[in-house]
Copies of this chain bind each other. A is one copy, B any other.
Amino acid sequence: MLTQNVWAESEALVDLSRMRELAPLTHCITNIVAANFTANVLLAVGASPAMVIAAEEVAEFAAIASGLLVNVGTVTKKEAKAMLLAAAAARKSATPWVLDPVAVGAVQFRTDVAKKLLDHQPSIVRGNASEIIALSGSAGGGKGVDSADDSATAVPFARELAKRIGTVVAISGVVDYITDGNDVISVAGGDAIMTRVTGVGCALGALMAAFAAGCEPLRAAASASAIFSLAGERAARIAPGPGSFSVAFLDELSRVGLDA
């Protein structure tokens, strides 16, 4: 196993501060379940979300946005077309973009869509272990959107995928791993309750797109993960259940790094 560098909280706070100054226009093409929470996470943390999804609009918008998220969580045929147009435009305009391959491996259609999206070379791919393994072309253990695999198991697949595509791959789990094919960064922390609220992983992908407006993808993915872990830990300490957790999580995201 490679040496894994633990990402320092201080590094994450530097990137967060830069992101807040930029207030990056973050274009999200995401699923109907997580759209609201994703926009609220971006607003809480200081980014400027824009949920533009029509095939008629996405290319024009991805070109002017500072970052783009493409999340295939509830992708349909028509949305797949829009996602491909947006990804192509982002690539052409050098807008950093993040692919979130939700439940890839569990069903065929979205697996095909996600693989076509890879041709437009995302800056970052973020998923759980099962999704990353499936996307890399190997046999995974996906069951819906939850991961049947441990995040560490997926590291070799992530490295291979990152090298092959020329991207950064982030595996979310109890420990998050982020790799550009060579270096592997780990981010621990967070809390198990984060898996009991829908859209937390989806919102993390969006935050990576916002961070990528101000720093290189490897840093963006690691710092966004670290900020999520930090805010998640704090929120978990004061929330008695998943309903109050998601409220406290937004509150903590709005003040992380701003504490006196």
Chain A residues proximal to chain B, CB less than 8 Å:
25, 31-37, 39-40, 43-44, 48-57, 60-61, 64-65, 73-78, 103, 106-110, 143-146, 195-199, 239-244, 246-255
Give the complex CA separation of A34 and B251 in angstroms: 19
In the complex with contacts A61-B107, A254-B242, A36-B34 CB distance below 8 A: yes
In the complex with contacts A25-B144, A40-B197, A74-B52, A250-B254 CB distance below 8 A: no
In the assembled complex, how far is the CB of residue A24 from the closest CB belonging to chain B, in whole angstroms? 10
In the assembled complex, how far is the CB of residue A54 from the closest CB belonging to chain B, in whole angstroms? 4
> Which residues of B sit under 8 angstroms from A65, Cβ to Cβ?
144
In the assembled complex, how far is the CB of residue A26 from the closest CB belonging to chain B, in whole angstroms? 9
Which of B110, B241, B247 touches A44 (beta carbons < 8 Å)?
B241
- Give the most central of A48, A76, A248: most B CB within 10 Å: A76
Please tell me if the beta carbons of A250 and B255 are within 8 angstroms of each other in the complex: no
Please tell me if the beta carbons of B61 and A106 are within 8 angstroms of each other in the complex: yes
In the complex with contacts A25-B144, A39-B198, A52-B107 CB distance below 8 A: yes
Q: Which 6 A-B pairs have the closest CB atoms?
A: A241-B251, A243-B250, A50-B144, A39-B198, A56-B109, A243-B247
In the complex with contacts A35-B33, A39-B198, A57-B110, A255-B241 CB distance below 8 A: yes
In the assembled complex, how far is the CB of residue A62 from the closest CB belonging to chain B, in whole angstroms? 11
What are 28 pairs between A and B in contact, CB < 8 Å? A25-B143, A25-B144, A33-B35, A33-B36, A36-B36, A36-B198, A40-B242, A44-B241, A44-B242, A48-B144, A48-B145, A49-B144, A49-B145, A50-B106, A51-B73, A51-B74, A54-B75, A55-B77, A57-B109, A60-B107, A65-B144, A196-B254, A241-B252, A242-B250, A242-B254, A243-B250, A243-B251, A244-B247
